[in-house]
Amino acid sequence: MMTKEAKQSLILSQVHALVGEWLPFGANQISALNERLGAMERCQGGLFSSKLDMQPTETHFEVTPGLTQVKILDFDAIRFINFEAEINFPESDGVIQVENFGMHLHVSGAVLYGVKIDAIMNHTERSIPLDLLARLLVDVHQDSSGIIHDLLSRYQLSVLDMLFMGKAEQRNKYNLITAAVIEPKLPARMYLDKGERENELKQVLGEIYACYDITRDDVLFLGRDGCLLSGPGAERYEALLTTFMGLNSREIFIRNFFVRTFVLNDMLMNLRQSIRNYRKHGEHALKGVKKSLSDAARHMILLIECLQYLLESVEALELPPVPVDIAGSKIYKSLQLLERKNNVIVRCKDSIKLIERLRTQLDTLITKFEGISRLQLTYVSQGFDINIQRLTESLRVRDQLGENLDVIRMIFAGNLSFDIIDRLSGGTFNVPNPSWFLDWIKKPIIDVPLAFLVINLLWLAVVWIAIQAWLDRQVFRAGATLVIRAHTDKRINLMQLRRFLSQRDLQLGTFEYELGGRPELQSYIWVEDCFPSKGSTTHVMIVVDEKQKLLRSIRLQIACPLEESVPIHSRRLSRGMHRMRSYSTLRRPSRRLHPAPSSVTTMENNILEQFSILLRGEGVYQERHAPLARLGSQLNLLALTHSYNQETNTDNPMEVERRFWKGLRGTMDAPVYGADIVASLFGNVDALSWNLGDLNTILRKIDLPGVTRPMLYFGMWRAMFAFHTEDMDLFSINYVHTGKPKFWYGIPPDAAPQLERAAQSMFPEKHHTCSQFLRHKTSLISPARLREFGVPFYRAYQKPGEFVITFPAAYHQGFNLGLNIAEAVNFASLHWIPYGLKAKVCKCLPDSVRIDMDSFLTKLFSEPPSGPELLGDDPWVFSCKCHKYCSSNSSDVEVEAKVTAVEGKYIRVHYKGESADNDEWLPVSSKELQRRIVAVEPPLVKTKDL
- Beta strand 181-183 with 480-491: parallel, antiparallel or unpaired? unpaired
- Beta strand 16-22 with 119-120: parallel, antiparallel or unpaired? unpaired
Calpha distance 641→636 (Å, rounded):
16
The phi and psi torsions of 687 (rounded to 5 degrees) equal -70, -25
Rounded to an integer, the average pLDDT of 535-540 is: 84
Nearest C-alpha neighbor of 810 from the set 724, 753, 749, 730: 749
The whole-number pLDDT of residue 772 equals 87
pLDDT tens digits for range 677-731: 888 887 655 545 678 877 778 887 777 766 788 888 988 888 889 999 998 889 9
Query: Can 653-830 and 853-936 be said to share one CATH topology?
Result: no
Of the listed ranges 18-32, 220-234, 397-411, 800-814, the one predicted with least confidence: 397-411
Yes or no: say if 202 and 226 are a contact pair by the CB < 8 Å rule: no
CB neighbours (10 Å) of residue 464? Answer: 18
* CB contact set of 604 (below 8 Å; sequence gap of 6+): 482, 484, 486, 629, 636
Of the listed ranges 39-43, 58-62, 255-259, the one predicted with least confidence: 58-62
Rounded to an integer, the average pLDDT of 34-53 is: 68
Calpha distance 523→506 (Å, rounded):
10
* Residues facing residue 524 across a β-bridge: 509, 542
How many degrees, rounded to 5, is the angle at CA 134 between CA 130 and CA 135? 120
Per-chain mean pLDDT for the chain: 78
Nearest C-alpha neighbor of 176 from the set 320, 322, 16: 16
Of the listed ranges 39-48, 99-108, 808-817, the one predicted with least confidence: 39-48
* CB contact set of 504 (below 8 Å; sequence gap of 6+): 526, 527
Calpha distance 451→474 (Å, rounded):
35
pLDDT tier at 121 (50, 70, 90 boundaries)? confident
Yes or no: say if 799 and 737 are a contact pair by the CB < 8 Å rule: no
Give whole-number Cα distances, 438 to 226, 451, 642, in Å.
133, 15, 54
Yes or no: say if 70 and 46 are a contact pair by the CB < 8 Å rule: yes
Give whole-number Cα distances, 655 to 96, 162, 782, 930, in Å.
93, 69, 15, 46
Longest dimension (CA), the chain: 157
pLDDT tens digits for range 800-829: 989 999 999 899 999 998 888 999 999 888
Share of the chain above pLDDT 90, in %: 22
According to the per-residue pLDDT averaged within each range, which of 5-9, 533-537, 804-808, 918-922 is highest? 804-808
Evaluate if residue 784 carries a pLDDT over 50: yes
pLDDT tier at 45 (50, 70, 90 boundaries)? low
How many Cα atoms are found within 13 Å in the side-chain-facing hemisphere of 760?
11
Q: Specify burial of residue 4 (Cβ count, 10 A radius: 0-12, 13-18, 19+).
A: exposed
pLDDT tens digits for range 582-609: 333 333 333 233 334 445 566 777 888 8
The whole-number pLDDT of residue 654 equals 84
Yes or no: say if 526 and 504 are a contact pair by the CB < 8 Å rule: yes
Of the listed ranges 220-224, 248-252, 287-291, 347-351, the one predicted with least confidence: 287-291
Yes or no: say if 515 and 567 are a contact pair by the CB < 8 Å rule: no
Quickly list DSSP for 294-352: HHHHHHHHHHHHHHHHHHHHHHTPPPPPPPSSHHHHHHHHHHTHHHHHHHHHHHHHHHH
According to the per-residue pLDDT averaged within each range, which of 234-248, 559-573, 574-588 is highest? 234-248
The whole-number pLDDT of residue 86 equals 73
- Beta strand 920-923 with 906-911: parallel, antiparallel or unpaired? antiparallel
Rounded to an integer, the average pLDDT of 107-117 is: 91
Yes or no: say if 29 and 156 are a contact pair by the CB < 8 Å rule: yes
Helix pair angle (238-276, 154-163), 10° resolution: 70
* Residue 159: alpha-carbon gap to chain centroid: 27
* Residue 77: alpha-carbon gap to chain centroid: 41
Q: pTM value?
A: 0.52
Q: Which residue has the higher pLDDT, 251 or 193?
A: 251
Which amino acid is it at 491? R
Domains of the chain, by residue range, sit at 11-51+62-233, 274-399, 405-474, 478-585+595-617, 653-830, 853-936
Nearest C-alpha neighbor of 569 from the set 438, 481, 499: 481
Share of the chain above pLDDT 70, in %: 75
CATH fold of 853-936 reads SH3 type barrels. (2.30.30)
pLDDT tens digits for range 442-485: 777 777 787 778 888 888 888 888 888 887 776 665 555 778 88
DSSP state at residue 679? -
Domain 653-830, CATH homologous superfamily name and number? Cupin (2.60.120.650)
Nearest C-alpha neighbor of 18 from the set 115, 105, 139, 104: 115
The whole-number pLDDT of residue 477 equals 59
Calpha distance 829→733 (Å, rounded):
13
Evaluate if residue 274 carries a pLDDT over 60: yes
Evaluate if residue 346 carries a pLDDT over 90: yes
Q: Which residue has the higher pLDDT, 626 or 157?
A: 157
Calpha distance 716→185 (Å, rounded):
98
3-state SS class at 814: strand
pLDDT tens digits for range 201-242: 999 999 999 999 998 889 999 999 999 999 888 888 888 999
Calpha distance 122→128 (Å, rounded):
9
Sheet (strand 11-13) strand order? 128-129, 11-13, 181-183
Rounded to an integer, the average pLDDT of 32-60 is: 68
Calpha distance 130→226 (Å, rounded):
13
Q: Which residue has the higher pLDDT, 124 or 385?
A: 124
The whole-number pLDDT of residue 389 equals 80
- Give, rounded to a whole angstrom, the gap between the first and last alpha carbons of the chain: 101
Calpha distance 106→26 (Å, rounded):
9
CB neighbours (10 Å) of residue 85? Answer: 23
Evaluate if residue 11 carries a pLDDT over 70: yes
Residues present in the chain in total: 946
The whole-number pLDDT of residue 510 equals 58
Sheet (strand 219-223) strand order? 46-48, 68-75, 80-87, 100-106, 110-116, 16-22, 174-179, 226-230, 219-223, 208-213
pLDDT tier at 99 (50, 70, 90 boundaries)? low
The whole-number pLDDT of residue 583 equals 35
Which amino acid is it at 343? N
Evaluate if residue 634 carries a pLDDT over 50: no
Calpha distance 139→101 (Å, rounded):
12
